[in-house]
Amino acid sequence: MMTKKLRLALLQMNIKAGYPENNLAKLKSLLEQAIQAEEKPDVVMFPEMWNTGYALTEIHQLADVNGEATIAFLSAFSKQHGIYIIGGSIAEARDGGVYNTIYAFDREGNRIGDYSKIHLFRLMEEEKYLQAGEKLGQLVIEGEQAGMMICYDIRFPELARTLALDGAKLLFVPAEWPNPRLHHWRTLLTARAIENQMYVIACNRMGTSGDTTFFGHSLVIDPWGEIVAEAGEEETILWADIDLDLVGEVRGRIPVFEDRRPQHYTTN
């Protein structure tokens, strides 16, 4: 029987910009730690661009070609341990460009969803080095619809709303969200959870890259907007237990989706 209860493990890791091999080694050691926990996770997720970090000027040389190495590793790992993996995002070289892409896997190691970041972040000059994704990030976990967005995407409520209207009950958000905008991070993620009455599961990196520092504070927020778990600034695994039945309960309590009047909304 499919469970509606999920144990989540968010790998809030440091990322060394420009050193994919070091980052993979770090990821592997955190993954091993997660898998050896007394109670195994159902879903493991990582931060944004965990393979290369924001080494944008060298990104064409460093990016994983068609994500092949990442896909092979994550697929084998998810199958071996019977877990879902939301593979953070990686720099993926494809079609002559580089995309910021998430791959997701089920308990059998099947690829169940991809998402390339739609909104590129100008403050980090992403638009100069990366290509924007063109399709929604959707997947099914234990029979339930879920969505994926990346970092800056959370400033665009239309995207989360579109995923929710399409049935998403939970939303995964890998990020490299830097100081000093912790207030924005927590507020935007909480708003996306409350307005869409869904779980928001956000894994940020920590540490320093050049002049930029990252505060961590990975978050799991329930559909009522309560924080289920929040990390500090250290390298850690953030654990959280969630129950997907809460989504229906909250949607029943305040029938936001029934009360929508889209004829009055202009979105373009």
Ligand X SMILES: O=C(O)CCC(=O)C(=O)O
> How far is C-alpha 58 from the chain's CA centre?
24
Catalytic pick from 26, 48, 169, 176? 48
Using rule CB under 6 A, residue 60 touches ligand X: no
Active site residue 48: yes
Per-residue DSSP letters for 11-24? EE-B--TT-HHHHH
Using rule CB under 6 A, residue 128 touches ligand X: no
Active site residue 117: yes
Nearer to ligand X, 11 or 246 (CB): 11
Report in angstroms how near the CB of residue 208 gets to ligand X at its nearest: 14
Report in angstroms how near the CB of residue 54 gets to ligand X at its nearest: 8
Distance between CA atoms of residues 231 and 83, nearest Å: 22
Using rule CB under 6 A, residue 184 touches ligand X: yes
Whole-angstrom CA distances from 190 to 187, 194, 197, 205, 256 are: 5, 6, 10, 18, 16
The answer to whether 217 and 234 have CB atoms below 8 angstroms apart is no
Using rule CB under 6 A, residue 177 touches ligand X: yes
Q: Write down the number of H helices and E strands in the chain.
A: 8, 16
Check residue 4 and report its DSSP letter.
S
Active site residue 151: yes
The single residue among 122, 181, 253, 260 that binds ligand X, judged by CB under 6 A, is 181
Catalytic pick from 26, 92, 126, 151? 151
The single residue among 5, 128, 155, 253 that binds ligand X, judged by CB under 6 A, is 155
Report in angstroms how near the CB of residue 128 gets to ligand X at its nearest: 14
Which residue has 């029943």 as its token pair?
Answer: 252
**Binding segment (CB under 6 A) for ligand X, from list 32-40, 87-95, 149-157, 241-249:** 149-157
> What is the C-alpha radius of gyration for the chain, rounded to an integer number of angstroms?
17
**Binding segment (CB under 6 A) for ligand X, from list 160-168, 171-179, 200-208, 251-259:** 171-179
Distance between CA atoms of residues 89 and 49, nearest Å: 5
Residues that bind ligand X (CB under 6 A): 121, 124, 151-152, 155, 176-178, 181, 184
User: Which residues are known catalytic residues?
Assistant: 48, 117, 151
